[in-house]
Amino acid sequence: MSVQKSSIIIKILSSFLLVILLFSCRQTRQNGDKEKNNIETATADTADLLDTIFQRKKLIAITDYGSTNYFIYRGQPMGYQYEMVQKLGEYLGVDVDLRIEHDLDSSILKLQQHKSDLIAMTLTVTSERMKKMDFTLPFMFTRQVLVQRKPDNYQKMATADQINKHLIRNILDLGGKTVYVQKGTIFVNRLKTLENEIADTINIVEDEREMEQLIEAVAKKEIDYTIADEMVAKVAARVYPNIDVKMPVSFHQKIAWAVPKNEKRLLDTINSWISGFNKSLESRLLYNKYFKNIRTKKIAESIYNSYAGGNLSPYDKYIKEAAGIIGWDWRLLASLIYQESQFKPNVKSWVGAYGLMQLMPAAMEKYGIDTNSNVKDQIVAGVKLLKEFDKLLPDSITDSVERIKFILASYNVGVGHILDARRLALKYGKNPNVWDDNVEYFVLHLSEKKYYHDPVVRNGYARGWETYDFVREILQRYEHYKKLIPG
């Protein structure tokens, strides 16, 4: 074969190989694109509850109202479950919408219907409940105890043995007794099991009242017996020294939260947080705060405890009267006052603001008050300033809820900076009449040169992050007040 023919054959083979190579690369790229599309489709198809929580930036949790789980004390939301869920929300980077539900069966139904993401209660883990929902890792262990009343003259009895003679100290002695328990709780099943074990009848009354209310009923001689979780019962025994909670009716059981069935990513994420939290000093301090605190009795009996007394502060009467001047819910005004002074009438800030409403000297002079003015006049002066800011804001902010946010922000940083933020919002294509994710964004960034040096800004630098937090915290606290304090 001549050199010329060989050269021609080599060129033909090279061209053929090049075509095959190009086709192969194209096919590989098409297969890769197809695989990528399949992954994206699969990801979209498998979007779960955790994704939904991140998208809405909110965790919806159900808890129960009581002296340990969730209540208001001197204006501040408190409670073991309340603080636990807030810490989970911080871990997830989302807000928490904590809702009250008194009926456990209703709570479980809402979880199953995806009307809530989490039941944040002291739930006992049982095989029957595991069929309806998935439980997290336990965050504590407790047992069920019989709550009974000591004899009337127990203080005069010399020894514990004398007191014990009047109390049930053997499960067998429950036969023939009437025991009230909260409807829908695990206590009902436990008593039925005990009936079988002691081969005797226990008269079980399922009651609509909650566990703590039934404990109180025992203390007040309305009923003789109830069943409660030991940790709750021990706290109640500090408040009601005439009750006895030393008789266990179960072994130690796991206490956990619950999420809807088959939400594995949410469950794994919460478990990851609980696993770390359970090992922390913070966890032990939180438990001791609510279940071993020597101040429990004082807090539980206070008239400023929403569960016991229903009052926010000593000044509720004046706050209600002043709220009428501006047409606000008095609990919103109370939340503002708590934010400013924590209901302390003589407090003075580092910048010179004074009193319940933290008015600056110029505002105090304008509205005719000074450091000797009474609480009522302080509150009225603050409300007049709120009305003044309302007048200075443009009429284009027509939504009443949005307008309140702008007024609160103005109260904190001054209306000039808020008008600057509105102009920035308009310039950058946001809605100047909407606070959330619109004007609040520019308030938050008024400490950055890019924004406070902008030609539309007339009032310069502002500590906008403080105002951003100010509005959010007042409104979040107001939501708690609405749930727990009568309007």
In contact, 415 and 392? CB cutoff 8 Å: yes
What are phi and psi for residue 155, nearest 5 degrees?
-65, -25
Query: CA 289 to CA 24: how far, in whole Å?
Result: 68
Give Cβ neighbours of residue 1 (< 8 Å, ≥ 6 apart): none
pLDDT value for 459: 96
pLDDT value for 351: 85
Query: CA 257 to CA 124: how far, in whole Å?
Result: 9
pLDDT value for 184: 86
pLDDT value for 148: 97
pLDDT value for 294: 85
Query: CA 273 to CA 266: how far, in whole Å?
Result: 11
Residue ranges of the chain with per-residue pLDDT less than 70: 1-47
- Our CA dihedral for 440, 442, 443, 449, rounded to 10 degrees, sits at 160
- Residue with tokens 């032990």, as numbered in its chain: 284
Query: CA 140 to CA 284: how far, in whole Å?
Result: 11
pLDDT value for 307: 87
In contact, 481 and 335? CB cutoff 8 Å: yes
CATH of domain 52-140+256-299: 3.40.190.10
Would you list the domain boundaries of the chain?
Answer: 52-140+256-299, 144-250, 316-484
In contact, 383 and 325? CB cutoff 8 Å: yes
Q: Do 316-484 and 52-140+256-299 have the same topology in CATH?
A: no
Query: CA 356 to CA 340: how far, in whole Å?
Result: 7
**Residues β-bridged to residue 140:** 255
Using only C-alpha atoms, the chain has a radius of gyration, in whole angstroms, of 32
CATH 1.10.530.10 fits 316-484, yes or no: yes
CATH 1.20.120.530 fits 144-250, yes or no: no
pTM greater than 0.75 (yes/no): yes
- Tell me: the pLDDT tens digits for 412-438? 999 999 999 999 999 999 999 999 999
In contact, 459 and 467? CB cutoff 8 Å: no
pLDDT value for 66: 86
Give Cβ neighbours of residue 145 (< 8 Å, ≥ 6 apart): 227, 228, 229, 230, 233, 245, 246, 247, 248, 249
pLDDT value for 297: 83
**Residues β-bridged to residue 135:** 258
In contact, 129 and 137? CB cutoff 8 Å: no
